[in-house]
């Protein structure tokens, strides 16, 4: 696993866009960036890596992290990443290898193994924010193909003073 670090200690609130399951929709990425303004960091949780690279290009010199999903088997990206943003350690996965369609236990323990207090995942196309112990389990949903009658969504995390404040944003 590759570990990246954006751990600067700052009193500034860092705004983190989390997006997943865009499945080739440039429009979904553009919509997320238009709705969630003043983003400091972007995260793409897989399906499709070329979308994540577009997001990275659109972020300019601001950090953009991404992992591959189950539809990205031939793309050059990590299966998981650990990043520290504003003092908050986050595990980034797509979720299919952690069985997130069935329950959150494997993901929860995966986060604990890496001492992460936030686990970000996609794969289900259904947004969700939950907390198990001191670990946030956050799924931004799908920005292009939501399921279960849900709207297109992404997540917006605000990180300040070593704490995360998550929210789901309709697109």
| Cα angle 90, 96, 99; round to 5 | 90
Cα–Cα distance for residue pair 23/120, rounded to 1 Å: 18
Which tokens hold the place of 129? Answer: 């924010």
Contact 25, 144 (CB under 8 A): yes
Express each pLDDT in 149-158 by its tens digit. 889 999 999 9
Mean pLDDT across the stretch 65-82? 90
User: What is the sign, positive or negative, of the torsion defined by CA atoms of 121, 49, 113, 157?
Assistant: negative
DSSP 79: S
Q: Could you state, in order of their start, the residue ranges of all structural domains in the chain?
A: 2-142+159-165
**CATH superfamily, region 2-142+159-165:** Metallo-dependent phosphatases (3.60.21.10)
Question: What is the model's pTM?
Answer: 0.92
Express each pLDDT in 92-143 by its tens digit. 999 999 999 999 999 999 999 999 999 999 999 999 999 999 999 999 999 9
What pLDDT does residue 76 have? 76
């Amino acid at each position: 696993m590759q570990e990246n670090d954006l751990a600067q200690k700052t009193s500034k609130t860092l705004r983190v866009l989390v997006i997943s399951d865009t499945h080739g929709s440039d429009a979904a990425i553009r919509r997320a960036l238009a709705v969630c303004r003043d983003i400091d960091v972007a995260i793409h949780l897989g399906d499709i890596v070329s979308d994540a690279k577009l997001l990275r290009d659109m972020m300019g010199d601001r950090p953009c992290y991404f992992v591959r999903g189950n539809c990205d088997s031939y793309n050059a990206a990590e299966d998981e990443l650990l990043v520290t943003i504003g003092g908050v350690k986050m595990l980034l996965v797509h979720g299919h290898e952690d069985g997130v369609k069935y329950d959150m236990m494997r993901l929860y323990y995966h986060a604990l193994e890496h001492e992460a207090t936030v686990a970000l995942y996609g794969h289900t196309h259904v947004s969700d924010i939950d907390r198990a112990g001191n670990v946030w389990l956050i799924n931004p949903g799908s920005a292009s193909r939501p399921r279960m009658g849900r709207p297109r969504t992404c997540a917006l995390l605000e990180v300040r003073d070593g704490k995360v404040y998550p929210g789901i944003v309709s697109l």
